[in-house]
Structure 1
Amino acid sequence: MNDWRDRARRLHESGMAIRAIARSVGKGATTVRVALDINGEYARMVARNNANKAKYRAAEKAIRVRIEPQPKGPDRSIQKAYADKPVRPLPSLPKISLPAVDEAPIIRKFAPRVRWTSSPGAERWRQVNLAMIRAGKIAPRHDLTSEMQQ
């Protein structure tokens, strides 16, 4: 396995260019530079790999935190089972709130629903429809019995 490295080292010591060495041993130029550690290429590769690993692990950790559920705390049901239970209060009578007899009842009046048409065209259709209902040409809405008789 070291045979190409030994050959590349001998060719480099003889003064051959890195790209020519790479062509002769059948490897890439960067692979030859790292194997021979030319100009600190091996240290740069290790630093680059470590930086990429740190970046990848940070991103993976951020995703894992979002996906995995958070660890649960200690189960306190065991403590609750043996703890002294509080004494329940005695039952009391229900509280009933009734208005006074002499007061007048409050009468609430509801305003009829006012329709606001969305456009002049819709308003025109509505007016035509109401006119036809008044003329007896069509049945008013929600009048199922008259529709069934026809």
Structure 2
Amino acid sequence: MFTLQNKGSYNSTVIKDRSKLVVFTLQNKGSYNPDSINQHGSQVVFTFQNKGSYNSVGQQNIQSGVVFTLQNKGSYNFQRFANTFTSAVFTLQNKGRYNKRFFYTINIMAVFTLQNKGSYNTLSEGLVGTQAVFTLQNKGSYNNLMF
């Protein structure tokens, strides 16, 4: 478990680990940047204190699931089945629902904004790589680049 108080950053590269578990917590602000080469059973849990959590479970060539939740604000659910399709569901409490599914051979960009809290930006290039950037206004940022 890695914990930064008030500010700072953590950068981790995972290359060879069949059941790597990383838990990272930021208090108030900071950033987390993992550069991960897909491995079986790789798991990342990212938490903003009193704001929400990010949970990513990736299994190479099988499926990847991402769930992002902001406390009392909504949730983001992203599940990818390799070489098949990508499904994204984003829900804001009492605001509405966004559901998008697309085939993996199509490039697509999606931007999700949390009212007065920040934004989520994901750019997916089929069979090439996925880049996701999540920013909480005045709180910190999450940047995930996976090949």
Q: Same fold (TM over 0.5)?
A: no
**TM-score when normalising by structure 2:** 0.16
- Higher strand residue share: 2
**TM-score when normalising by structure 1:** 0.16
- Higher helix residue share: 1
Q: Which has the larger radius of gyration?
A: 1
